[in-house]
Structure 1
Amino acid sequence: MQTMKLLFILLLTSNLFSNCSKDKVEKVDNGDTPAKKGFITGKILDPQGKPLAGVRVTASHSTWYNTTISGVTNDKGIYTLDMNGQPGGNWSLMAKYTTPTPYNGKTYVFELRSEDATPVTTPTEGIVRNMSWKLSGVVPGSTTDARIGTYLTYFSGVDVPDEELEFTLEPVGPLVDGSTGKTIVARASSFPSSFIGMYSNIGVKDIPTGRYKVSVHHVPPAGSPVKTIKLSVRGKGDYQNSVTVDPSQDPVYTNYTELELDLTEG
Structure 2
Amino acid sequence: MNTLRQKTAQNLVRSVWVAGMLLSTGCSKSEDDPAAGGTSTAGYLAGRVTDSQGKPLPGATVLADNTLLYNSHLETSSDANGNYRIKMPNGRYRAIAEIRKSYNGKDYRLSLKPDNTAAFAGSDGAVRNFQWVLTGEHPDQSGLHYGGEVTLDMDILSELYDVENIEFTFAPVGPLIDGSAGKTLKLKSGEPHSDSYGRLVDVPIGRYKITAVHQPTGRVVQVKNKNGTYAADGSVTLDFYGENAPWACFNCMILEYKERQ
TM-score (normalised: structure 2)? 0.76
Runs (5+) with no aligned partner, structure 2: 1-34
Alpha-carbon deviations, 1:137-168, whole Å to 9, x = none?
Answer: 11122233x21111111111434312211010
Point out where structure 1 has 5 or more consecutive residues left out of the alignment.
Answer: 1-24, 195-200
Q: 1:62 to 1:97 in 2, by over 3 A?
A: same
Q: Aligned partners of 2:95 and 2:249: how far apart in 1? A: 16
Instruction: Pick 1 or 2: higher relative contact order, CA cutoff 8 A, min separation 6.
Output: 2
Deviations 1:107-152 (A, max 9, x none): 211112413122233232x3000000111111122233x2111111
The match for 1:243 among 236, 245, 251 is: 236
Q: How does 1:133-144 map to 2 (within 5 A)?
A: 133-144=132-143
Report the AA paired with residue 78 of structure 1. N
Tell me which residue corresponds to 2:148. 150
Give the number of aligned pairs.
219
Residue 128 (1) aligns with residue 130 (2):
no
Aligned-residue sequence identity (percent) comes to 30
Residue-by-residue CA offset, 1:227-257 (whole Å, 9 max, x unaligned): 4311110011335511000000347983111
Matches within 5 A, 1:97-136: 97-99=99-101, 102-124=102-124, 126-136=125-135
State how far apart, in whole Å, the 1-side matches of 2:67 and 2:169 are.
42
Contact map agreement 2:230 2:236 (CA 8 A) in 1? no
Looking at CA atoms only, which structure, 1 or 2, has the larger radius of gyration? 1
1:92-114 Cα shifts (integer Å, max 9, x gaps): 32112112xx3111121111241
CA–CA separation in structure 2 for the residues paired with 1:141 and 1:254: 18
Secondary structure of the residue aligned to 1:235 is coil
Does residue 261 in structure 1 map to residue 260 in structure 2?
A: no
Alignment RMSD, CA only?
2.5
Query: d(CA) in 1 for partners of 2:43 and 2:194?
Result: 38
Cα distance in 2, alignment partners of residues 182 and 78 from structure 1? 31
Query: Aligned pair 1:93/2:98, yes or no?
Result: no
For residue 197 of structure 1, what is the aligned residue in structure 2? none
**Given that residues 168 and 216 in structure 1 are in contact (C-alpha distance below 8 angstroms), is that contact kept between their aligned partners in structure 2?**
yes
Match of 2:215 among 199, 216, 219: 219
Alignment check: 8 A CA contact 1:69 1:82 kept? no
